[in-house]
Amino acid sequence: MTNATYNRLNKDDAVVLLVDHQTGLISLVQDFSPSEFKNNVLALADLAKFFELPTILTTSFEQGPNGPLVPELKEMFPDAPYIPRPGQINAWDNEDFVKAIKATGRKQLIIAGVVTDVCVAFPTLSALAEGFDVFVVTDASGTFNETVQQAAWNRMTQAGAQMMNWFSVACELHRDWRNDIEGLGNLLSQRIPNYRNLMNSYSAFTAK
């Protein structure tokens, strides 16, 4: 058995890629409930802003049935690079998308999108082949059903991608609670109702 290296997320080397979270495509997501999925995507967006990570948005053929980018993401990142791809299914086949990533100078890609097996898997495999480290945010990516989900996760894992959820991304980027207890704690409590109980008890304790 080989000793695996723990390659952890670093907020100074990570960039967030939000791929094809479009109004039409999101209706295909069946492996999460609509409200749960939307919450997860916006939680990841919250993290990108909290840790001041460069964030790149892209859409696929938005004039067609895939539809435009969900408005919340556009509002949250008004100044972020936004690449509406004219037709390429694999975002990595779009020169402007790859240029925007390389312009950040960062090597860790935190990616989420719709659908997992295409819009996430294809650029993930392409980026890995070019030497990037890729961290797939599993619960902010969605597809048709759990069978498709598992096949996509396995394909990306075997190629070297790391599967994470948005909460573990938050914790790995944060590293130490002493960096900002209330900042991250309040962010988590906005997106995880039960976490609000923790923050409420913490607030009561610190108020004593």
List residues bridging with 59 in a β-sheet.
Answer: 84
Q: Is 119 a catalytic residue?
A: yes
- Active-site residue, selected from the candidate residues 57, 100, 119, 137: 119
Asked if 44 and 57 touch (Cβ cutoff 8 Å), the reply is no
Enumerate the active-site residues.
119
